[in-house]
Every structure is written in C-alpha cells, then in structure tokens.
C-alpha cells in the first residue's frame, strides 16, 4: 500500500504488475556509490511535505538549492580552463590575449618539475615544459603576469604546500607597488591531505610538516592578504584515484573539518577563515549521482560549519566549489565521443550548482589538448548556458522524486563514510593509517572489475566497439632552444642575485621550521623576495620538515 495520500494505490499496483511482467528479469541497478536505483520514484519516496526540511530556498538553510539567492541566474559559473604553456613568456602572451578579451580570472599551471619542488637545473631537461609553465623565480612570475593588472584579476594558482607561487605573486605585487589587500585568487592545491592520499606529484613535504605550513599559510593569508582564498579542499584527486562519488565527497568534507579544527586549534576564528574555504570536485558521467552528490555535500557542509565549527556568519556556510569534468570517463577509442561525455558531465555539474567549471578537451586522453579541442570544451559551456538555457532556473531538478530521494540517500552514505573517518581519529589519522587509501583502492578495483566484466558499459571500449583507427598524436614539446634560453635565464638569475641575503633568508626559513612560534610562510615570502628559488625553498623545507613520501602499500 502506498504511504502517500497522493499515490493512487490501484494504479500503483497495476503498474507494478505490468512492470514485473514486461520489465527486465535481472533488475538490480546500483550507482557508483553502491546505492540501489529503482525503476520508478513516486511521492512514496519523497514528497513535498518535506520541502522546508530538505530544500528551503537558495541562499538559505538547509542550503540544498544553492549558496546564493540568485545562483546562476544572477551570476553564471565562471569558466576556468587550465592552460599549460612551457615558458613564462609563452604563458604571458596567451594570458594577455585572454585578459584583453575581458577575462577577469586566470589560472597558473606550473610544470611537473615545479610541482615536485625542483628548479629546471635539477631535473632531466627532456621533462621540462611538457605540461605547464616552469616558474622558478620571482622574475618568472613577473614575466607570466606582465601587463596583467593583478589588483583587478582573480588569480588561481595551482600551488601545493609550501605555496611558493603565492609567495612569488606577493613579491611581484610589492614590486609593482600593489597593496596585498588588493590581491585576489585561490591557492588551488592547498589540500596536502589529498596529495598524500591521491596525487603524490604535489606532495612535497612530510605529513606533519605540510600540516604546519598549511595553517601558517592560512593564518598569513587571513591576516595579510584578506581577499585571498588560501584553502581549496580537493575531492577531485580522491575520485580520480578511484573513490566513489559518495566517498570522494565524504573524504573532502572530513578533510575540511580537519583543516578547520587545525585552524581553530591555532586560535583562528571560524568566521574569519571559513568564508575563504573553497572546494574542488570531479564530475563523473554518473549523471544523477553527481547532482545528488553536490546537493547533499552543500547541505552537510552548511550544517557542519554551523553546528560543529560554531560559525555564525552565513558566509561561512557557503559551499563554494569548482569542478572539473572527469578525464577517467574519456576514451582513446572513437575520441570524438568524448565531446558527448563531457557535455553530460558538465550538465550534471551545472545542475549540482557549481560556481566554476573546467570542461575537459575531448583529446586529453590522447595527448596535451590541441587548441581546437580546448575551444570545443569552452564552447560546450557556452552552448549549455546560452542555447540550452541551463542557467535560467535555479536548482531545476528540485522536487523530483528521484533526485530528492537520491540526494537524501547520498547524504546518508556520505555521513557513514565520514563516521568511519571520525572513528579513526579524524582525517589526518585516517590517512596516516592508510584507511582512506585502502577504501579508495578497493573502490578503484571494484569499478575496474565492472568495466572488465561488462557490467559497466564503456562505449567503444567494452561495447559498441569497432576497429576504427585511433588518431595518432604527438606530444607537443617546447622547442629546445626556447627551453635552453629559459634555463640560461635561471643560471643568470642565480649568479646575479645578492647571495648573502639569499643564504640568510634560507637560514631564517630553517629557523622558522624549527620554531613553531614563527610563521613559516612569512619566511618563504621573505626568501623569494631576497631571490631564493622554488627549488631552494622546497629543498630547505624538505631538509627541515622531511620529504613527502606517500604510503606505498599496493
């Protein structure tokens, strides 16, 4: 018998009989988070009586429907495409075009050597500049941002701990006479926990040291660079590494709680730092599951900020997030199919209420994206916004029996995973013990098995495959002479700087690392202003705080 008075019992019984006679025999369907998906949802599953409790209004508790009253209708999501270009000169040329065309936000993606904390003269030259810009010094950052009004441009730095790129940016601002309270943007890769677990390339310092530098950097930014967002909690790495959407959301929220607890422990006020927290997620092609993931996450975070962290300012409750369409769902086979996949992922992100989005180029699984493919990725967003009119209505799937039921079920599943982390002593302990890594590994294996046995179709790979040729792509590499000139510049920079000052600043950095009363990040800014390089700062801190080894149990 139906629970809801709105469901006519006879009709429901008739439908069930007809479905059982004609529907598929083996009927169990599960989403990636392991939640069973029924063939039909009705007011028996969710009904508008729950409207006030579950939904409310955009910009109000319980925050399910969005963090701002006007959401995309008032301010469409921003498009933040990542661009990797080999040298600061090339990066600058591209950026000036983008700024000239009216962009007010840009991203800096450094080369893998920079991510690892090495200068150009410390790594095999064959690896330089193939994925991002080689920024080793304050001069390099100055070149990247030549002609860019840094007091009027939001700058997203892919800048893992110890945040040398932000130090370079602040040094450039000072050079140009721009006050630090005019500098805006985000430390996109501040989440060292996600790096320890799932993106080891960014993991430079040992766990305890990274933890301290993180809080120093938040404290410094809150105090001295008040419009900077020092925290981006990254669920993307975890989901890319294999976490289910519910696990990825749970681990991200548990990480955010850990960061907030650490900041409070340092004596920072929740309403001071929480409005500067941002989040970064993966959007897989599991369409409704992703939408429900974002809606549930938004609701949980607001509750945590208020009830657990004691924040009173509503800006602290806002779950601001950037999301990127998942490269894992893309295939080499029949690569143009990826355009359809990215569209579906992007729609899910938009319906989930994101603030900023990167859509993948269809060919990124073949090589570094071509300009044409990168353009299609951007135009996909424009088509969805302006032709499909996806920004016109706020949270348009609200009230769907399925979406609301699934949002509640995802919330439950996310809270279960968060409880596991809590039982382990919080996120920091859970990752130190390898509990999170093990869960992610198991989920990765389980998903691969579903692909291998065909339970999960991948079009063109395990089903609907053909023998069409996969396009041959070459890796784009910077011309050797361009790269060599850049390496020569670094040598010249190192030869001409005031050596005694650099040595003294690096000693000061070591002293701060040994003395918890000092702020390490402040000393990093001093060091790069004196002329220390990314490699030297990271090297010194590795000596003092330990090299960032991930857990390697496979």
Partner 1 sequence: MNDTQPLDESRAADGAANLGRPARVMVTKIGLDGHDRGSRLVAGFLRDAGMEVIYTAPWQKIETVVRQALEEDVDAIGVSSLATDHLLVPQLMTALGEAGLEDVIVVVGGIVPDADVAELKAVGVAEVFHPGSSRDDIVGTMTALIAARRAAA
Binding site for partner 1 (CB under 8 A): 112-113, 115-116, 118, 123-124, 126-127, 130-131, 198-203, 240-242, 331-333, 365-367, 441, 444-445, 448-449, 451-454, 457-458, 461-465, 470-475, 549-550, 552, 554
Least Å distance between CB 283 and partner 1?
Answer: 18
Least Å distance between CB 42 and partner 1?
Answer: 31
255 with 233: CB under 8 angstroms? yes
* Residue owning tokens 């900023």: 356
C-beta pairs of 24-33 under 8 Å, 24+ apart in sequence: 31/245, 31/286, 31/288, 31/289, 31/406, 32/244, 32/245, 32/284, 32/286, 32/289, 32/447, 33/244, 33/245, 33/246, 33/247, 33/289, 33/293, 33/410, 33/413
Residues 6+ positions from 481 with CB-CB distance below 8 Å: none
Residues 6+ positions from 79 with CB-CB distance below 8 Å: 356, 357, 358, 378, 381
Report the residue number, 242 or 353, with the smaller CB distance to partner 1: 242
Least Å distance between CB 123 and partner 1?
Answer: 7
Report the residue number, 319 or 362, with the smaller CB distance to partner 1: 362
Report the residue number, 452 or 515, with the smaller CB distance to partner 1: 452
Mind giving me the DSSP string for 499-548? HHHHHHHHHHHHHHHH-TTS-HHHHHHHHHHHT--HHHHHHHHHHHH-B-
Least Å distance between CB 456 and partner 1?
Answer: 10
CA distance 270 to 259: 11
363 with 322: CB under 8 angstroms? no
55 with 398: CB under 8 angstroms? yes
Least Å distance between CB 195 and partner 1?
Answer: 8
Which of 278, 173, 260, 181 lies closest to 220 in space, CA to CA? 181
298 with 63: CB under 8 angstroms? yes
Helix (H) or strand (E) segment spanning residue 157: strand 154-157
Least Å distance between CB 549 and partner 1?
Answer: 7
Least Å distance between CB 9 and partner 1?
Answer: 37
Report the residue number, 125 or 147, with the smaller CB distance to partner 1: 125
122 with 173: CB under 8 angstroms? no
Please state the length of the chain: 554
Exposed, middle or buried: residue 85 (CB in 10 Å: 0-12, 13-18, 19+)?
buried
Report the residue number, 187 or 331, with the smaller CB distance to partner 1: 331
Report the residue number, 112 or 254, with the smaller CB distance to partner 1: 112
227 with 183: CB under 8 angstroms? yes
Report the residue number, 146 or 332, with the smaller CB distance to partner 1: 332
Q: How many Å separate Cα 184 from the centre of its chain? A: 18
Least Å distance between CB 364 and partner 1?
Answer: 9
Report the residue number, 11 or 29, with the smaller CB distance to partner 1: 29
Q: What are phi and psi of 462, to 5 degrees?
A: -105, 5
Least Å distance between CB 433 and partner 1?
Answer: 18
Report the residue number, 382 or 438, with the smaller CB distance to partner 1: 438
Report the residue number, 25 or 472, with the smaller CB distance to partner 1: 472
Least Å distance between CB 474 and partner 1?
Answer: 4
């Amino acid at each position: 018998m139906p629970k809801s008075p709105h469901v006519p019992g006879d009709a429901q019984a008739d439908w069930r009989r007809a479905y059982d006679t004609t529907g598929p025999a083996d009927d169990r369907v599960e989403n990636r988070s392991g939640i069973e998906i029924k063939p039909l949802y009705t007011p028996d599953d969710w009904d508008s009586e729950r409207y006030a409790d579950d939904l409310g209004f955009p910009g109000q508790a319980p925050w399910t429907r969005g963090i701002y009253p006007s959401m995309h209708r008032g301010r469409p999501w921003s498009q933040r495409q990542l661009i990797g270009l080999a040298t600061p000169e090339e990066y600058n040329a591209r950026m000036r075009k983008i700024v000239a065309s009216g962009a007010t936000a840009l991203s800096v993606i450094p080369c893998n050597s920079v991510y690892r904390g090495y200068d150009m003269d410390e790594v095999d030259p064959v690896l330089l500049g193939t994925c991002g810009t080689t920024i080793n010094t304050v001069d390099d950052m100055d070149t990247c941002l030549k002609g860019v009004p840094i007091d009027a441009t939001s700058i997203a730095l892919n800048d893992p701990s110890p945040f040398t790129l932000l130090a370079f940016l602040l040094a450039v601002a000072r050079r140009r006479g721009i006050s630090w309270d005019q500098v805006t943007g985000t430390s996109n890769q501040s989440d060292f926990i996600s790096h320890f677990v799932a993106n080891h390339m960014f993991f430079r310092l040992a766990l305890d040291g990274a933890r301290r530098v993180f809080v120093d950097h938040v404290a410094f930014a809150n105090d001295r660079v008040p419009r900077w967002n020092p925290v981006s909690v990254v669920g993307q790495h975890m989901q890319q590494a294999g976490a289910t959407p519910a696990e990825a959301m749970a681990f991200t929220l548990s990480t955010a709680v850990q960061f907030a607890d650490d900041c409070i422990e340092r004596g920072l006020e929740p309403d001071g730092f929480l409005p500067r927290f941002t989040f970064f997620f993966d959007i897989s092609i599991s369409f409704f599951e992703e939408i429900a993931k974002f809606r549930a996450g938004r609701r949980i975070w607001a509750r945590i900020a208020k009830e657990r962290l004691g924040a009173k300012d509503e800006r602290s409750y806002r779950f601001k997030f950037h999301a990127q369409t998942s490269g894992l769902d893309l295939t080499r086979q029949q690569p143009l199919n990826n355009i359809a996949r990215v569209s579906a992922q992007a729609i899910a992100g938009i319906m989930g209420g994101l603030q900023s989005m990167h859509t993948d180029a269809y060919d990124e699984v073949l090589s570094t994206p071509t300009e044409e493919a990168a353009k299609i990725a951007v135009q996909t967003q424009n088509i969805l916004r302006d032709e499909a009119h996806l920004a016109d209505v706020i949270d348009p799937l609200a009230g769907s029996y399925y979406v609301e039921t699934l949002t509640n079920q995802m919330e439950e599943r996310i809270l279960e995973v968060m409880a596991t982390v809590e039982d382990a002593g919080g996120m920091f302990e859970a990752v130190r013990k390898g509990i999170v890594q093990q869960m992610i590994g198991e989920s990765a294996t389980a998903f691969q098995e579903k692909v291998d046995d065909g339970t999960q179709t991948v079009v063109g790979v395990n089903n609907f495959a053909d023998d069409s040729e996969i396009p041959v792509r070459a890796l784009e590499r910077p011309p050797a002479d361009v790269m060599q000139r850049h390496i020569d510049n670094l040598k010249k920079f190192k030869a001409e700087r005031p050596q005694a000052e650099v040595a003294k600043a690096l000693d000061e950095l070591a002293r701060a690392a040994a003395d918890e009363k000092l702020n390490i990040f402040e000393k990093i800014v001093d060091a790069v202003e004196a002329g220390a390089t990314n490699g030297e700062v990271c090297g010194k801190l590795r000596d003092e705080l330990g090299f960032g080894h991930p857990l390697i149990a496979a």
